[in-house]
Amino acid sequence: MQGRSIILFIGFLLILSIVNAVEITPQGLSDNLCPRETGQFTHIIKNDNNLVKEYTINLKGSASSWATVVPSGFILSAGEQKTVFTYITPSQSAEPGTYNLQIEASAADDTKTVSHDVVVKNCYSVSLSALPNSKTSCPNDPIQYSITLTNNGEYSETFRLSLNGNLAPRASLSDNLLVLGKKESKTILLFVNSPVDPSDYVLTLISESESGRVRESLPIFLNVNSCYDFNLKVSGNNTYNLCDRSYVVIPLNLKNSGTTLNSYKINIDGPVWVRVEKNEFVLKDQEARTFNLIFAPNYGSAGDYGIRLTVVPEKGNAKSVTDFGITVRKCHSVDVKFLYDKVDACKGAVNNYEALITNDGEVKKSYRLELEAPSWIVLDEKDRVFTLDPKEQKKVVVKASPIDSVKDQEYDVKLRAVATDDSSVSANDIDELSIDVKDAENCYKPSIETKYTNLVVYYDSSTAVPIEIKNNGVRKAEFSLFLSGNAATFSTLAPSAVSIDPGRSEIVYIYVAPNINVKLGSYDSVVSLNVKNGPLLTTKKFNIEITNVKEKTTQIAQPLKTSLDNGKKPVDEISYWQKFKSFIRKAFVSEEERIQFNNVTSVIKVNNDKSSIGKYKYYILGIVITILVIILLVVIFSSKDKKSSKKIKNKSSEDVEDIKDKVEE
């Protein structure tokens, strides 16, 4: 009974020994945020236990759907600490208010939660004003209003302007699309061709933000008196989107609605490829003529154009002004891109460098490749001439085979693609590659590796992309990382500096969070790596597509670093004491609790647990167990000795009795 009590007491002490505490120490907090604005919380996690522990970080609360934590899982040795970055980017549809974000660090032993308030501000407001907003004119007299649009919000916003009312078909704006920064104002002009019929008219100018958050309207009043009347009718749209080397014919009808003969001049303000069939007419009263406005952009005319068609009568002050917005697409095009801007080439080896030739136009094309490089750099003949469908890509390989006599220096390689037809004036592109020739001993460089060089991100989300930095050299290195490219405005590297032993690696993250001003489309980002305070060593390019289709988004698998990655003690090298503790856990902890313990990916130790008992509890427990075992052994052996003495005493008594019996006989 006494031995069983001792064993139960030992088990109770061992159960107490596996209880740990968790603490999160905040290091940096985020300010109030606007929708799609990114804030950050920084916390320090420390393991002051004497064991290697696995940790996991979970996010909860009403703001958790906007938050991303990196790293979300890691392993710490005794006394080691880790900085955890939590990024918060409220969604575009987030309403103003206060939201809660809980950062939970958990383990099989304990769970600790830190709560933060995330305040989403009201960041959208706009105002329209016109001085004056009421005018008087003659029929067909061009009237101009000066309108001020002010962005009272906290974001740079894109505003679309539209017109509503019975004057809308006769009105146009100097700008239909405005981009205004925070608190910025801009004056736009509203042009109105007064109607033929004298009357009072109302026109409503509407301003709407592309985000859909803001809508403002302004009434415009016009009093038309009787004067010289005429009308220009456009049988088509005021905006067009067409390819270069194509044309559009827009029928126009000019009518003299007045009471007398009048002559009219047609003026075009635009590029040379815009013209009208006839630029002067003489019309009787109520007479009309139809003529054509022609857009015929040539190769190389890609861009956005504003075109103004003005009809000026000889009599009367009225004139007709019609604005057209033309977007000319580069439909005959090609893009040449080496995968890297600068590479190394080892002497005595064949070094292959890939380039992508993309038909980024809209017409099937044949292309010819031209290579300008030293003689030891060649391009396969089969890649010299080829045909690509629209958006099709072709991968070509430039081979560099420097021999020992080639000097150790940088060499420039130029690869050019040119269309084989007349569109070559615009359908051509060139890219350059810098090749640094080195001997074999200088060719060992660090590497940047990731599965996510082509990334698709939903415009109203964020993601953390893991990148593995490997040190393939022979000594420990301090690396610095930098982020560039047109995606760098909404991307962040964490951490930006790592220290890596030879033959080992470290995981860093690119946090991608498109803000409110990022348009849908393709972006590029380049991670550059160099030795601290030293030259550039290597780069990795990322192609990032911002999409509005959630199903296209790239699913990122976050890696969990093993203890070997950080040079920690392998699992098969744990001490006998740790194995003994594991055995006790199995003996006294339920199967469900053991499963939960095995699935835990992080354990965090409370930083303020500074008591001697907490710090040396395993040593104290070992001493107590040893003393209890000694006491148990003493009790067992003492019991055996008493039984043995009793047997000897009984034996002696029996012998004395035998001797007495013999003497008496």
Over range 202-212, report the average pLDDT: 86
Q: Residue 659 — pLDDT band, cuts 50, 70, 90?
A: very low
Options 2.60.40.10, 1.10.10.10, 1.10.1040.10, 3.90.480.20; CATH for 335-440 is: 2.60.40.10
**In sequence order, which residues have a C-beta less than 8 Å from that of residue 636 and are 6 or more positions away?**
3
Q: Say what the pLDDT of residue 324 is.
A: 94
pLDDT tens digits, 237-260: 899 999 988 889 999 999 988 777
Over range 350-377, report the average pLDDT: 92
CA dist., res. 535 & res. 442, Å (int): 14
Q: Is the peptide bond before 132 cis (omega within 30 degrees of 0)?
A: yes
Percent share of the chain, pLDDT over 90:
32
Q: How many Cβ atoms sit within 10 Å of the Cβ of residue 402?
A: 23
- Does residue 660 surpass a pLDDT of 90? no
- Does residue 615 surpass a pLDDT of 60? no
Q: Say what the pLDDT of residue 22 is.
A: 53
Beta bridge partners of 368: 385, 418
**Contact between residue 88 and residue 100 where contact means Cβ atoms under 8 Å apart:** no
Q: Say what the pLDDT of residue 574 is.
A: 44
Q: Where in the chain is the domain with CATH 2.60.40.10?
A: 21-122+574-599, 124-330, 335-440, 447-561
Q: Of 504-508, 628-632, 635-639, which gets the smallest average pLDDT?
A: 635-639
Options 3.40.225.10, 2.60.40.10, 2.40.128.110, 3.40.190.10; CATH for 124-330 is: 2.60.40.10
Nearest to 267 by CA among 279, 251, 283, 249: 279
Over range 340-361, report the average pLDDT: 84
Tokens of 118: 């995330």
Q: Residue 19 — pLDDT band, cuts 50, 70, 90?
A: very low
According to DSSP, residue 240 is labeled E
Over range 27-43, report the average pLDDT: 78
According to DSSP, residue 603 is labeled -
Over range 481-498, report the average pLDDT: 91
Q: Which DSSP helix (H) or strand (E) runs through 593?
A: helix 591-599
Nearest to 45 by CA among 122, 131, 103: 103
Q: Say what the pLDDT of residue 461 is.
A: 92
**In sequence order, which residues have a C-beta less than 8 Å from that of residue 330 and are 6 or more positions away?**
244, 302, 360, 361, 426
Q: Residue 112 — pLDDT band, cuts 50, 70, 90?
A: confident
Q: Say what the pLDDT of residue 27 is.
A: 61
Q: How many Cβ atoms sit within 10 Å of the Cβ of residue 283?
A: 19
Distance (Å) of CA 556 to CA 142, 456, 508, 602, 612 = 58, 10, 14, 20, 44
Look up the pTM and report it. Answer: 0.33
pLDDT tens digits, 151-205: 888 778 888 999 988 888 888 998 888 888 888 889 999 898 888 777 889 999 9
Q: Say what the pLDDT of residue 348 is.
A: 62
Q: Of 104-108, 418-422, 558-562, which gets the smallest average pLDDT?
A: 558-562
Task: Fold for 447-561, please state it.
Answer: Immunoglobulin-like (2.60.40)
Q: Residue 308 — pLDDT band, cuts 50, 70, 90?
A: very high
Pairing between β-strand 335-338 and β-strand 410-419 as defined by DSSP bridges:
unpaired
Q: Which amino acid is at 193?
A: N
Most confident of 104-118, 441-455, 459-473, 608-622: 459-473
pLDDT tens digits, 508-536: 999 999 999 899 999 999 999 876 765 57
Tell which CATH architecture fits domain 21-122+574-599: Sandwich (2.60)
Q: Is the peptide bond before 139 cis (omega within 30 degrees of 0)?
A: no
